[in-house]
Structures are given as C-alpha cells and as structure tokens.
A and B are shown apart, each in its own frame.
Chain A
Amino acid sequence: MGEFKVHRVRFFNYVPSGIRCVAYNNQSNRLAVSRTDGTVEVYNLSANYFQEKFFPGHESRATEALCWAEGQRLFSAGLNGEIMEYDLQALNIKYAVDVFGGPIWSMAVSPSGSQLLVGCEDGSVKLFQITPDKIQFERNFDRQKRSAIHKMIVDRQHMGVSKRKCIVWGVAFLSDGTVISVDSAGKVQFWDSATGTLVKSHLIANADVQSIAVAEQEDSFVVGTAEGTVFHFQLVPVTSNSSEKQWVRTKPFQHHTHDVRTVAHSPTALISGGTDTHLVIRPLMEKVEVKNYDAALRKITFPHRRLISCSKKRQLLLFQFAHHLELWRLGSTVATGKNGDTLPLSKNADHLLHLKTKGPENIICSCISLCGSWIAYSTVSRFFLYRLNYEHDNISLKRVSKMPPFLRCALQILFSEDSTKLFVASNQGALHIVQLSGGSFKHLHAFQPQSGTVEAMCLLAVSSDGNWLAASGTSAGVHVYNVKQLKLHCTVPAYNFPVTAMAIAPNTNNLVIAHSDQQVFEYSIPDKQYTDWSRTVQKQGFHHLWLQRDTPITHISFHPKRPMHILLHDAYMFCIIDKSLPLPNDKTLLYNPFPPTNESDVVRRRTAHAFKISKIYKPLLFMDLLDERTLVAVERPLDDIIAQLPPPIKKKKFGT
C-alpha cells in the first residue's frame, strides 16, 4: 500500500474553551452549546451529533445563559448585559439588546415560548416579548418590591459544618408546584411552592451542585456537580402499581473530571458539559428503542472543523487559535527506517510566526496558501490578508491593506493551488473570487446566493486546475461553480446529512464529499453525475464499523501519483481508500493493524480491501500529504489538554 514518513506533530497547543451552557431544542433535535469564550455551537443530534454551525466568540461576551424560544430561535445573554439573537441561516448575530440591568446571570423562556425573562446583576428580573424579528421590553420586576409570597430558606449546614454562604445555583419549577433547588452545599432539595416548605432533601455531593435540567414530561431530571458527577433523578411509583410517586435518585454518571457547569435533558439522553471542555451525551437506555450505535455514549471534545492549514511546498503548518495564529516549519530527517521507527531529526520544527489579532473577536477561519506566501484570516468584522517573504531564515510579513468593504466577515477562505486566486465565503452567502498578483489583489467576481436564500457557505473546495469551485452550506446542498466562465455549473443532488468535508481530485475533477453519517460520495463534475465507483459503494454499502465511527471526517486529500487513492481522516483514524480494490463487506475485517506475515498469498488477496486504516495517531486534528511519500499528522493528546485545565476538586480515595 505504501510506506510514508510521517511528521508527527504534537505542538499544536490548542485547548478548547470550557462549556458554559447547553440548550436542547426538541423541535429540531438540535443542541446549542456556549463556551466560556463566548463561542456558540449548534449540534444536530439527528445528523450523528455533527457540529453544523458555530458563532465565533468575543472576549467581552461571556455567555451565561442560552435558550431556544419561539420554536427554533436561539437567544443568549451574558455578562455584557445584552440579549442576543443568532441568525442560524446567515450564521451571524441578528441583533443585541442591552437590558440596562448590568451583567445578566440567567435567562429563561416562558412555557409558551413567546417571552424571555432575564435576571440581572442589579437584582431585577426583566421580561421581554419576542416579536417576529426582535425582542421588546415589556416589564421589570424589581428586587423585593412586591412582597414575596414565600421565602424558602436553604439550610446552610453541610455535614455539620456551616459554610460561609450557600448559593442556590439552579432552580426548577414543575407544573405540579414542586420547586427543585440545587445549591453549593451539595444538596438537591424539593420544595412545596404552595406552602413554602421543604419536602425532601438529597445530599449528593461534597461540593457544589451547579446545574439542573428537567425533562419535558417532568418525570425525570438531571443535575451536575462540581465533582464532575451527573445524577439522574426519576419520578417513580412508591410501589409497583401504585399511583403515588416519589423522586428517587436513580443513576450517577461520572464522565467529567471537572465542574459540570450545565446539563440538558433531551427525551432520550442526558447532556452535560463543563470546565473539562467535553460535551457528553449519555443516552438513557430505557428510552432508546433500538439498541444500535446511537445508544452509545458520545463525548465530543474537538471542533468538527479544521483549525490547521498546510503549505505543502514550504512544509509549513498554520495553527488557528481563538486570538492568534501560529506558523511552524516542519523539521526534516535524512534517515530511513522500517514501519514504526522513529527517525533521528536532522532539523527540528521551528516556530516561525505568532500573529495576534487585534480586538476582542475570535478568529473564524484562516488559511495559508500552498506556496506559503499568503496567509489570510477573518474575524466577524475584519478580513486580514498577509504576504510573506522568505529570505533564508528570515521571514517578513506585510499586511495587504485596503480590503474592500464586502470582504468583512469570511466563514471560509481558500487559496487556489497556484496561489493566484483567493476564494472567500462570506456570511451573506456570497462567494468572492479575488485575483492575487505580487503584493496586490483585484476582486474578480462574486457568486451571489440564489435569490431568496441567505444560506451561508461553510466549506469550499477548489480543483487543482483552478477551474472548479465547490461550496457547501449548512444545509445539505453542494454547488459547483465554473471559475473560468464565472457561472454556476451544477448542484450535487441534496443529501439528508450535512457535508463534513469535501475535495476535488486532480486530473479527474471528481468531487469527493463526506457526510456526517459517514457516507462518502464521489461526484464527477465534468459529467455532472456520481461516478461508477460511488454508485458501487452505495449499492454495496459501507462496512458497518465504518458507519459506526462517531467523529466526522474533517479532511479529504489525494495522492499526486496514485489517482485511485482517496485520503481522509477523522479524529481517531486515518484512511486511504484504494478504489481499485474490492470493498469490504460486513464479514471482512475492516481494520487490520498487523502486517501480513507468512500467510499464503491467497489469503492475503482475499482479505485485501479498499480501506487501509491507521489508528496510530489520535486524537487526530489534521492529516495531509506533503509529497508522495510524506505525511503530516497533527495530534492533540487529551492529557496535554487536561494538564492545562485548572486542577479538579480533589476527592479522597480512602476513608470515604
């Protein structure tokens, strides 16, 4: 199959931000997640938990609350004192409204979904009416001005030791009048709202209980503690066949190492997230009808998009962080070896450049050209293009100034293979083509979105001859444009699952598309139809283990000399698909890490199939071919991330 030298890179010092809020939308089966840096991500739970949208963070915009209202509209509120609505089509912030109450700590939506309530730093609670295109202030409930009907006093005692303060971190009000509170003393308490009395108290943790979420049916709820534990409570009959029910703590789960800052309860799963940056989706086995792979626990740690781009010609890697970019030059070796060897380095990797953004906004996307002489990145309000000059070991950087006003916010940037063209997907749905020459640029054309749609394009792919440009949006369609004639060439038939990666093969101009359900299609752009190989694959179906992988394919590339090979990877495996070999069926071993030993040639021929998989590198954030015999793999070991997190609450092992 081939032997490669692999540059195994572990110096991408990426640490995802901790999760602050999660909000589940039952109507669309989508999950919104906000992180401590203000980033908001939307996961489609129906599409194999794919992170299909994201809104870049902002330094001053710590999100403290997130909720869905009016069906599928997404709102957030935070410490900057504003309520924001997100445009899920154009992928930008629709508007931000200052509530004039200081930082907002909490937000809730009325049961009808038409009103928003926010709790502010000054102690006031403010009610907003949701109108079709904005929100409107309605009334203000001032602190203690109206006499409270009941005052429930939470016991500060904890294991006999009185804490300085007991903070109620969350409450839930059930339709039968029960109030559930979770507090910093580790208690989950049930109150009767009619009388204001404590009904029941569960001491579940030695640390804070920080979050609570109730199921829609109100027969089950979930709480998360600072010890990383998630507890499931269920309303169960006292005895079988009895109509009297009580709340019982049923299942504890320990999938987090740090504070569980937020929880959500979907009809079939418990969702939790916190400081340890993992989003954990734990299906409730009794609610899952089909015990298939969807019933497995999901732990999502890394973004489902690329943060790394690579200049093959100069062997450079560009790393994208929230507020800066890093440019590294790979090392080299002259040694050779056999499979598994680590070769002595003749030159180590160099950190060439540290490019810090100006302003509080997070970087949305970045790209380095194949030749290494251009770097472009974009935030929500500005687009940056730099020209790099290499003189021996020195590198000089020159910003291309005077960006046209329409190049403001890019969702995806791509250079053509010869670095003469720059393709930019803007958040307004338009695709811009810019001609680069010397140190200047010229706007060539903009493909406007079809009238009536404002769907943003998130993924771009360009053919190596520069003639074809493929663009995919958040919903399933892929459009292919003819760059020479500047017109839409064709649209790939729509598919139910979002595109996670795509690329155009050199020479054949076949567009290879990976979807979140792990299907891979090959579409011939010149013929405007799926290739024979793709049809064969669809007819026979992928191996069941292939379809069960739980991270999306994030990058596809091709071998310059072997047109039958497709290289792709997800976070836990790297695969070369050899189209000339037969496809594996469910009975064949999909992943065989061992080299064929002295087995007879017949056996080997019988077991050889198109999928050559390596699971050595993980978690794998990026993998590409530098040249025919060289690969670069960027890994981010979880231990390295954990090492950069604050230490978790220490738990005693003995004497508990």
Chain B
Amino acid sequence: STTGESWSLTLTIIYSKTDFSNPKSGWEAKVVEFFKDRLKEKDAHTWVPSLNDVPLHYLKPNSLVKFRCLIQDMFDPEFFMGAYETVDPSTNAKVLRCGRYKDVTECGVDFNSRNTVTAERQTFYCVPIPGENPWVKEISSSSRVVPSTSYAPTRQKRSYEEDDMDDMDTQPQKQREPHSGWELVYIYFLQTHGNGDCKRQETEAPSSQTASASHLDLNFPLPGEKGPSCLVKVYEDWDSFKLNDTLEVFGILSVSPALSALADEKDASSSILDPTESMETAEEQRVHSPPASLVPRLHMLYARPLPHNNPLLPSATLEDNSAFLSSTLSEMASVRAELLTYLTHVLLGDALAAEYLILHLISNVYARRDVLPLGKFAMNLSGCPAAALYTQRFYQIIQQLVPSSFYLGMSLQNMNQMRLVPKKDYVANRLVSGALQLARNTFLFLDETHLEQGQLDTTGVRNVTALGNLISWQKVDYDFNYHQMEFPCNINVLIASEGRSLLPSDCQIHLQSQVSPPNMEEYLSNIQLHPQTSSQLNKFRIYLSVARQLDYSISDEMTKSVEDDFVDMRKDDPQSVSAEDLHRMLVVARLLSLSLGQTSLTRDSWLRAKHIDMLRRSRMEQHQCVNGNEP
C-alpha cells in the first residue's frame, strides 16, 4: 500500500484486544516506551521524515514524522474522548475505539455510552527554531537516510495479525533485523478499520489553500521566517515542557481536511442556541484551529529535548558519546588557533578582539543564582567601521559558524516599530511572538552603527529597556497586558557600535584595526570562508558547539590562588579592581579554559585571563583619553 517514492513509514495498524476504556491497563505507557526503544536503535531516527525538510504534501497523513521546533505558545489543555463507542446504524453493533493520537472520531459515536473515557491532552504551538541558519537546514536535510529502494513495495504483511499487543507485552525487546525497516513503527490504532479510511494516500498538493496562507499569521518570532508551524498535541507529562524549549518531536501527522472543514462550517451555520458557538471569537478560531494543510497537527509520541541544534554533532549527549568527545577534545587547541587566525582577519587584524569573540561565541548561561545568571558574556564591540556595511558582512561570517542567529539593526525606525517582546493577545487568545522570543544560545547581533539621532517613542523606550534587561538579567518580561511575566533566556548578545554602546554589556572591547583595506567589501569577501570549503567551516562549527557544552570546575587549590590574586591586586590599588571585575574575570577564565578544551581552571588559564582582561582595559582607557570627553 506504499507508493514507490513515499519513504515515509507506514502505519502498521494493529487491532488489539486491549481494553482502552480501562485506564489502568497502562497501554499508553507501553506504546511510548516501545517507540523510544525503537528510535534509540542505530540511526532509526534519521529514517523518520522531518517536517522541517519535506514539504507537507509529500508526507503521508497518519504516518510517523519528526519536527525540530521551538515551543512558541501553549494553549489550554483540552479534553477529548480517550475511548468511545461507535454504533453501526445498520447492525446496531457497538465497537470500542480509541481517540488517542487522532483528531477526528469515527462515525457513529455513541455519546451516551458508559464506556466513554474522557482524557486530557495539551496543545503546544510550535514553530521551527527561529533564526536557524541555512547551513543547519541544509546539513540536516541531507543527512537523512534514504531507504534503499529494495524496501518499498514488499512490506511484510505478517504483522497485522501477529504483532498485536501480546507481542508487545511479552517481548518488547525482541530483536528485529534493522532493515525490515518499516516495522520499526507500530501504531496502536485501535479501529477494526474495515472502511479503508487510512488508505488514502497523499494529500493533494494544497494549491488553493496556499493562497489563503498569506492571510494566516503563523506567528514566527522573527520576520521573514519560513517553514511549517505545527500544533503539537501532548499526551504525557506536559508540565515538563517549558515555553521556548527546543525539541525534536516524534509524532503522528494529522492533516485531516475535516479539521479545516469544521472551522469553515462554523462560519456558515452559526446558531445562537448552541452554547459552544459563542465561546470563541473568529480570531480565536482562526488561531486555534487553522486549516490543517497550513498548520498540521502532530500527535506527540515522544520528544527529545535539544541541547543544541547543530546537526554536525551526534544526537546523543556528549557524555554518552565519549569517542566523539575525546577526538574533538584532542583537536580543540589546534582548531582554536585556526579559528583565531580566521577571526583575526575578519576583525581587521585585531587578535585580542578575535580572542574575545571566540569567548563570546561559546558563552552560555549555565546556572542562575537567585536573580543572577552565571556565565553570560554579552560583548560590546566598539569602534566598528561604519563604512562599507562592515557590520553586515561581519554578521554574515558569524552566521556561517553558529547554528542560529539574528541580525537586529538598531535603527530608530526598527526600535520604534519592531515588536521585540512577545505580547498576549486576549482576543485571539495567543501569545503574539516578538523578536526576543529566541531559542537558547541564539546569537543576537545588535547593530548600533545604524542608530541615528532622533526620538524614541514609547515602543522604542520599551524595546531598549527590554534589550537592556535581556543583557543584564538574561530574561524577557512578556507582556500579558494585566501583568508581566518573566521568562528566563540564554541568548548571546553582541553589540556592534562605533562608540561605547548605550546598552549595558559584560565586556566592551574597542576594535583596533591593524589593516585599513581600501576596499572593505573586497577584503572581507576574500577572507570569508566559502561554503565550498565546508570541511574547514564544519570544524569550526563543531568546535564552537562542543566547547559550549563542556563541564567545568575549579579546584580548591585554584580557588585559593584566585583569592590571593584578588587580595593582592586590591592591595596595590583598590580602585583598579572591583567585585564586578572579579565576576568578569572568572567568566573570562572559564570561557578561556573551555575554549582550549580544558574542563578545569589551571594557573596558566587564570593568568592568561587576567592578562587579556588587562590588555582590554588598558585599551579602553587609552581610547577614553583619546576621546577626551571624560573629565
């Protein structure tokens, strides 16, 4: 029943003797457990088609798909028929069916049946990871394993009768040869299923509906984003998910046209007497039940939290993949040297700024102590040449290195008009996204060289305050109209400016160009690594992602030595170093160690950290004197 091209996993429909109406049978947990086990098998998850890469109309409805996404909004929990009975009008025969992992029931539901089980599920509105760079998309879509052609039409049919729940129960670990492939997936769909409803193959390419797509605001955090958004239905443990979490969701795709049809029909025949009609406004309806062809539903079986979205890293956590880790660690120092050279060129020959840039790129909020985020390292790169779109080119180069990033030109117009902070829209009952709703470790580039003199209006002031809060506290206060709600974040902010930035930062470094190329454009395009040299780029990409994920510790001995150092420095000149400076030096030392692949602080790294911080500060003082503005 599979078409040649369709490499999507076909559902195996198993008629089960399980009593779905008995909540104690625990069959739900077994299904999820089974899936997790299957997907853990070697490469299994790469066979599952991804909503990120494959256009929706090529995916089979009711098949298993995956989706790499960010939870943009959480809707209210909904009650649904977990189990229900249908009555065949002709024979009056009753059949118990399961409503899990489905949006639409079979026909002939008996609403008065005593066997109906009401269950609860939660809906998340998920969007592709905002600001995900093209190279990430490209690599992840090409890394997917295309099934061998030998497979497709000869799927063994045996499983229908044999692989029912009993099989599951008794031998969940049963060894299967990996390439009887498509049996990886078993869905317990729980119908007698004579009517062949599921046999419908591809949904037609939604030619008419794409036109209407433009009317529907898919609520992407960043302007100009593309990609499907998805309503993910969560059946288990939804409290463990948080807004802005990045996930890889494995679930069953549901694009039943009935979902959209229901929405349309409402408009046509609304009746005043039905209490359900007046509950939702038209806007709310549009947002919460958009046409499934545009916003498909995904019934989650299992979700993998993504600590990063770099496709070059193995999907397992670093600890679990010691081979990969040790090979990368051994190369860290040499890759760092290459990267430093590369970035030095990019930063017009300024090696110190390049070193700080590396530290910035691997920084990460690793913990919070009461309100204080630890490990953040927002950087202000001052002295950027305003000419020749230097900052834009610079951003493009960084973009090739980090998995997700966003360029925010801080022009007056942008500041006064852009929506940075997400805001709750109570009419449509959704969280209208803003540019600061970003996934963890997104690289946010604030280009202050674009800021001209002028007046900031209310929105502008709010936006600047929001950016300030983001940098200082790594949090964004979402606007819920009647109150604000604080959402912690973990975003690397780099501010490029000519003079000192008006925003706060953890460290300011003034760019001292060693070269003054007559043609900046030409200079930069000459040094920029091109996608063709991808092996070099990939090395850098892996390096940056791995360095960020390493653990770090300070020995008691080093603690003592740092203390001594601090006391000594203060003895000489108490004004020279404050508690704040020590905070920063500790972060610099941490990042410096990690950038070299060292997981604990050494004397050398501490001295080096002190040294570069000293260099940086002396440069700042120099520059201030030149400025002559200070008294």
Binding partners A and B: no
Measuring CB to CB, which residues of chain B are less than 8 angstroms from any residue of chain A?
none
